[in-house]
Structure formats: structure tokens, C-alpha cells
Structure 1
């Protein structure tokens, strides 16, 4: 089980969400479906600004994308997840975007000096939530692949 923090004042605005509370569970499930994430065996509950996710994910990648797709919504301060991964999974690695960041800067910080060209690895790892490598915003949480 993991508990992941998000900045609740930023993110995708879903119907029923506000800066005080997360969107209703059915809207979170719609958001996962919109991104093509297999959430058929996933149960979503919302308690104030916390989203609780339980069930099974088909892969570690889908598990991580479910966490960030749910967490990067307006009104969400925390995602508590208990997703089992078919075949097992590792602890996810996430990064919260800061003012002035771009994917190249993040890649160099995460992978080491001279690795800025790995920005595309981060971009690809966050599709379909990211549509363009230059369209990130402060407070957004990104998954960082190995």
C-alpha cells in the first residue's frame, strides 16, 4: 500500500471537484477510463480530499498511471492505494513539478548530469496524461521510469 501526496489546488478540474475536496468516485473512474487505463478491477472511494484506490492493476505501469491520473485532479491532496500488480511490482517513483521545470531539467535531476536527453522517457511514461512534452505545470506529479 502506498500513500502519495498531491497539491490539491492544481490539476484537472472534474465535475463535482473543488479546491476543498476531490471529485466524486464515479468522476475519478471516468478520468481513468478517459486515459485508457484498465481500471475494471479497481475500486475508488473519495473521502474529502483523499482518494482511496483498491484492487488489481494489470501492470506496474498501469498502477502508477492510475495513481497520478487520480491524484492530478483538482481537490485531491492524497491518494491512498492498495493495488496489487499481476506479477508483482516495485515502489513507484514520482516527481512533483516545480516552477521553472521542464522535462529536460527533470531528466537531468533524476538520471544524472548529461542525461537531459532522457526527457522523452519521462514524457512517454506519462502518456496519455501528458499530450506534449512542453505542457507541464507546477504541482503536477509525474512518474519517473527506471
Structure 2
């Protein structure tokens, strides 16, 4: 599973059968806007397409993660999401497993469990509470910082 593929049966439940998935996902991203201008979201057959302008790599990745970590979304296409600053960041992506905690993930990937706050800060638009993560959720892990 790559950054753009997600487990559609897991994730945050944002919409019901009577709501427009694209509208709800767009509201979700805009509520904690990671740095996207001119955001537009469409959803068809579990595939969310995100367009607009991302101020940097982190904003680009967070918008994709926010859209993809929604129940019912199996893939996110970002072909029309323009990256304004091409400065590359050194990040890894991790799919949370049953029994994981941010502390354990930090210990494994950053070498120090106390660095869980770095993971939380790198995902604050994706993770609202560091104690409430769920299996299947995809996150960014900043490395080398």
C-alpha cells in the first residue's frame, strides 16, 4: 500500500449515506487546513481526487492523509494538487497496527519514545488526540530532524 492507497473499511467516519462524501472531506480538510489554497475534492467509487495548491510537501501529504484516512476511501488521487515549494522533506509513512501507540512508533522509528510529540506535531491535522489512533490510519514520520 503506497501513500495514495488506503483501507476503505477503516478510518474516520465523516459521512453517511445521505451526505456528499466530497463535501464532507473538503470540510474536514479545510477545518484544519494544512496549507492548501483553492481546495477542491471529488469522490467517485471510493476514490477521492484532491486539487488545489499546496504550500509545501507537508501540506501536500497532510491533505492526502486527511482525505485517505476517512472510512469509505480506498485511494486518493492528487494529480491536480500543485506543489508550490519543492523542497524535499525526509519523511516516512507508517500504517498504524493494532496495539500501536505513538510512543512505541517513535521508539521504533526515531529511536526515542519521548519523541512521540514530533510524530504528533507532524500529523496534528491527521491525529487530533495522541491517545486516539486506530489501526489502518496512515501517518507521516519525520526522520533526521
What TM bracket, shorter-length normalisation?
0.7 to 0.9
2:3 and 2:93 in contact (8 A); partners too: no
Q: Give 1:105 shift.
A: 1.4
Q: Secondary structure at the match of 1:138?
A: coil
2:92 and 2:49 mapped to 1: Cα distance? 19
Are 1:61 and 2:58 matched, yes or no?
Answer: yes
2:15 and 2:24 in contact (8 A); partners too: yes
Corresponding residue for residue 139 of structure 1:
136
Q: Secondary structure at the match of 2:63?
A: helix
Q: Secondary structure at the match of 2:114?
A: helix
| TM-score, with structure 1 as normaliser | 0.82
Indicate the larger mover: 32-41 or 4-13: 32-41
1:143 and 1:17 mapped to 2: Cα distance? 30
Deviations 1:27-47 (A, max 9, x none): 211111122334332332212
1:43 and 1:89 mapped to 2: Cα distance? 24
Corresponding residue for residue 37 of structure 1:
34
How many residues align? The count is 139
Q: Secondary structure at the match of 2:50?
A: strand
2:66 and 2:125 in contact (8 A); partners too: no
Q: Secondary structure at the match of 1:99?
A: coil
Corresponding residue for residue 5 of structure 2:
5
1:50 and 1:78 in contact (8 A); partners too: yes
2:67 and 2:130 mapped to 1: Cα distance? 20
Corresponding residue for residue 130 of structure 1:
127
Q: 1:123 to 1:40 in 2, by over 3 A?
A: same
1:17 and 1:75 in contact (8 A); partners too: no
| TM-score, with structure 2 as normaliser | 0.82
- Output the aligned Cα RMSD: 2.3
1:95 and 1:81 mapped to 2: Cα distance? 19
Q: Secondary structure at the match of 2:4?
A: strand
